[in-house]
Structure 1
Amino acid sequence: MIKIGIGSGRVFDAFKQKLQFLFKSIKYSKRSMVIPFKDKSVLLCKINCWDSAFYFRNKLLDFIVMGSDIYIENELKYKCLKLLIFNCKLSLISSKNEIESNIILTKYVNTVKKHKNYNKFDIIKLNGSLETCLSLNVFKYAVDIVDTGKSIKENNLKEIKLLKPIYSLLLINKGAKKNIIINVNRLLKFFSKYELEK
């Protein structure tokens, strides 16, 4: 059985959309965290991708589907493939208010610190609700994931600069057996232009 961890939220929704034909034959609810395929060849597991190292270290999963934002931020070193599931971007966003600030709010502290343009800024880690903080007119800048940009517009904010394009990845556990790799290549044909090395 192939055990695939999939980031809950945006990643899982995009994965499900791409593989609609598979999900039609699977019985599960929105609250289901572990989803077996009908023939029990694959087990999908919703996970928090920030915990990927834990799942691989303890050999709980063979593969993990996640966004490149988390891979880069956590400086992960697993073998991986770029998937054709979703694309978005990591961007600097700002309030439209005329306030002076040398602070950037973000949960991507390591990624932002690597950019020379932001050496003079103080980086504060915040795990969510960045739009709320900017809308309260205390902070001016944040770095966050931007998809459609709808949330930014509705909160009267603006996107200033693209830091990195973000895309989906398939992480491969070093302990994955060759027969698992051969089987997962069949699955990859549906949403990737790559195959794993046999």
Structure 2
Amino acid sequence: MSLKIALTKGRIEKPVMELLTAAGVDCEPLKNKKRKLIIDTSDDEYQFILAKGPDVTTYLNSGVVDIGIVGSDILTEHRNEQYELLDLEIGKCQFVLASTKDFEINKEGRRVIGTKYPLITQRYFESLGQDVEVIKIEGSVELAPLIGLADAIVDITETGTTLKENNLFIYDYLDKVSTRFVVNRMSLKQKAREIYSLVDKLENVIQNKKLIK
């Protein structure tokens, strides 16, 4: 029976495929997927399900996949209930607090914060002892302080370029983010040998990359 792996679509697909290929996984069907969302490897050892990040956690929690490859931002925001076995150390970025140049981080009074990550944002301001109103935004978070919807934003950034291009400044750095290998609890009991075998191979690749650097 193949291991079912939910893989987050988008920018981490290519580096994940490179990592898996180096670990001996046949990723050719995944590279040539066209518009397919469910892809089997030629040896039927693995089945990949391409999904949005939040859906990966849903699939894991419902038990329809054995493994999820997803960002730690999603895992934290959606209160991950499964086993996180490995940091794949790709897709690295960081949460930041950003706003316009006139924002005062220590100003008294309640502020409005725009974000795609209300739980993470609320926890951050609670740790500072500050009371804020959090507005969830699904699209371009950078717009919120520019159009007066929010005083500041909490978002993830890789290079900070988008923030700079929109005249936004970083006022604080929150948690770092990377891609994680997460396993459904029941699958770990039923398919432990296959799962740990893949984890060991991936871990060896990650360690070798560090040595090369």
- Aligned pair partner of 1:175 in 183, 186, 203: 186
CA contact (8 A) 2:27 2:41 kept: no
Structure 2: distance between partners of 1:159 and 1:95: 9
Structure 2 counterpart of 1:84: 89
Structure 2 counterpart of 1:2: 3
Between 20-29 and 2-11, report the one with greater CA deviation. 20-29
1:125-145 deviation line (CA, Å, top 9, x unaligned): 112211122333443300011
Q: Which has the higher helix share?
A: 2
Matches within 5 A, 1:9-158: 9-19=10-20, 25-26=28-29, 28-80=32-84, 81-97=86-102, 102-115=111-124, 116-117=127-128, 119-158=130-169
Q: Which has the higher strand share?
A: 1
Tell me: CA distance 1:140–1:13, structure 2 relative to 1, closer, same or farther (3 Å).
Answer: farther
Q: TM-score, normalised by structure 1?
A: 0.83
CA contact (8 A) 2:144 2:152 kept: no
1:188 aligns with 2:191: no
CA contact (8 A) 1:82 1:192 kept: no
Across the aligned residues of Structure 1 and Structure 2, the Cα RMSD in angstroms comes to 2.6
- What is the SS of the residue equivalent to 2:142? helix
Residue correspondences, number: 193
Structure 2 counterpart of 1:166: 177
Q: Which runs of 4+ in 1 moved over 6 A?
A: 98-101
Between 14-23 and 72-81, report the one with greater CA deviation. 14-23
The one-letter code of the counterpart of 2:112 is I
- What is the SS of the residue equivalent to 1:151? helix
**How much has 1:179 moved relative to structure 2?**
3.4
Structure 2, unmatched stretches of 5+, are 208-213
The one-letter code of the counterpart of 2:50 is K
Tell me: CA distance 1:103–1:3, structure 2 relative to 1, closer, same or farther (3 Å).
Answer: same
The one-letter code of the counterpart of 1:25 is E
